[in-house]
Structure 1
Amino acid sequence: MTDAEGTSTARPSAPTNLAFGVDVGGSGIKGGVVDLDTGELVGERFKVLTPQPSTPDAVAGGVVEVVEHFDWTGPVGLTLPGVITDATMRTAANIDKGWIGTDVYELFGKALGGRQVSVLNDADAAGMAEDRFGAGADVDGVVMLLTLGTGIGSAILINGTLVPNTELGHMVIDGKEAEHMASSKVKEDKDWSYHKWAGKLSTVLETYEALFWPKLFIVGGGISRKADKWVPMLSNSTPVVAATLRNTAGIVGAAMAVDAGLRT
């Protein structure tokens, strides 16, 4: 179609390669429709508060509310803050301990009317998204995402393939769990300077390097927004860059997981 002056007025076609992701966190349940060609959300994300107590049935109700907000009727990918193996939640970080032992596929499949679901760890989902669409795009080999917050979440991808449930924040280094040595919470609690904290984080990264030889570390969490203040102070060898997808990474990764039929 053209206007009176001969200029094309055709609208760009709407994205067709879509999937839906929901990111369940300790404080909020957020979701949205994802364009899998670009890694971008189609429209705004929608968020509800995580119920308190955050029991499995209560959280499933919040997930249904998010999905129904978009009138989405297809498969749904979900993240949870814990380790999931053989469809079962094994740990429960920042969520009700009643999740431990829950069959997450039975729970969400029933709540969502029997539709297809994929459920995975939240750091793993963020790592998948960053590896394909964010800071790790076009990087071959081993890419590691580390979320630096209350603890240290981790995800390892090898040429785009996820190694699930790595939980490297619990690795013991110099007699302490890594996240008790170098999470952003430790920095805040001890009122460390960036320089002192970067030294502790460097020790953690150097340990991971010796074991996994990654091509790239991607760091997420709130402190990554100030990466320019502390990344130059790190002494490890592998390049370290800030995550770029930020608050959408979990949603995007969950959508990627269900599109791929991933089941952990």
Structure 2
Amino acid sequence: MAETKSAKPRTQKHTTSKTTPARAGIENILAIDIGGTGLKAAIIDANGKMRTARARVATPHPCPPALLVDTLHTLVEPLIEHYPATHVSIGFPGFVRNNRVLTAPHLGGEGWTDVPLAQMLAERLGGPSVRMINDAEMQGLGAIEGKGLEFVLTLGTGAGTAMFRDGELMPHLELAHHPVSRKHAYDEYIGEAARRKAGNKRWNRRVEKIIGILESLVHYDKLWIGGGNASRLTFDLPANVATVSNELGIEGGARLWHPRSIRDSM
């Protein structure tokens, strides 16, 4: 039976000019969005404007650290040849702290425990300054307005989350692995595998339930929903919830170099 589609969820566009300017002297930033199904990269300027088209390749599976670095180097080499980048921003689908990967649930393979991925890629690229955060956080940097408590939910291979207060990134909570039902964590409840198994109609009901849980848990002023599956939402969103373009996972890389966007521990 054909599925009936309700009013299209609100989509809002943002530019990084709404927050404090990036550090002086930054012209070309290589922004990399690592996903469970695809690796994406582009050169952006200090305000998030795209200087090149977005390049993309499929994510290898399994994808241990050395293979990921090799694949990313091949992907970005044509970009940095024409637009040399002194700064690199990476969004990674896992728990990231101090530029090191602590977990990588969607990449499989061995060796993803306390991996200095930012350093590994910097050395491979010839020594640019590299910063790495969770991919939902980087997409959030491209979406937020910088006022009040803003929460980000990304719907893709898994479910990512990020929280910001007055434009500043807060400590990461890996809600993707928090139980949402007796048998499922967020990843298993609203991730891509769950959508394929349950079907879009049931999956939409699950996402609607999660929005209610997050509102009760966080009491956010605004919830931004991104990721590749945000376009599959069919129900009416609350007034303080909006979907955003998945391309913000690249454009948010500019804000990673803005003074107030991150804490000193990065």
- Percent of aligned positions that are identical: 24
Q: Which residue of 2 aligns with 1:7?
A: none
Matches within 5 A, 1:102-117: 102-117=115-130
Structure that is richer in helix per residue: 1
C-alpha separation in 1, matches of 2:230 and 2:30: 26
Structure 1 residue 17, shift from structure 2 partner: 4.7
Q: Which residue of 2 aligns with 1:252?
A: 251
TM-score (norm 1): 0.76
Q: Which residue of 2 aligns with 1:147?
A: 154
Structural RMSD (CA): 2.6
Q: Is 1:173–2:180 an aligned residue pair? A: yes
TM-score (norm 2): 0.76
Structure 1 residue 192, shift from structure 2 partner: 5.6
Label 1:203 to 1:55 Cα distance change in 2 as closer, same or farther (>3 A). same
C-alpha separation in 1, matches of 2:52 and 2:99: 31
SS at match of 2:127: coil
Aligned residues between the structures: 233
Larger radius of gyration: 1
Q: Which residue of 1 aligns with 2:17?
A: none
Q: Is 1:64–2:73 an aligned residue pair? A: yes
Label 1:21 to 1:209 Cα distance change in 2 as closer, same or farther (>3 A). same
Matches within 5 A, 1:1-264: 17-37=27-47, 39-70=48-79, 71=81, 72-95=84-107, 96-131=109-144, 137=145, 140-175=147-182, 176-183=184-191, 185-191=193-199, 193=201, 196-227=202-233, 229-230=234-235, 232=236, 239-244=240-245, 246=246, 248-258=247-257, 260=259, 264=266
Label 1:181 to 1:63 Cα distance change in 2 as closer, same or farther (>3 A). closer
Structure 1 residue 257, shift from structure 2 partner: 1.6
Q: Which runs of 5+ in 2 are unaligned?
A: 1-25
Opposite residue 45 of structure 1, the aligned amino acid is: R
Opposite residue 80 of structure 1, the aligned amino acid is: F
Structure 1 residue 91, shift from structure 2 partner: 0.7
Q: Which runs of 5+ in 1 are unaligned?
A: 1-15, 132-136
Structure 1 residue 238, shift from structure 2 partner: 6.2
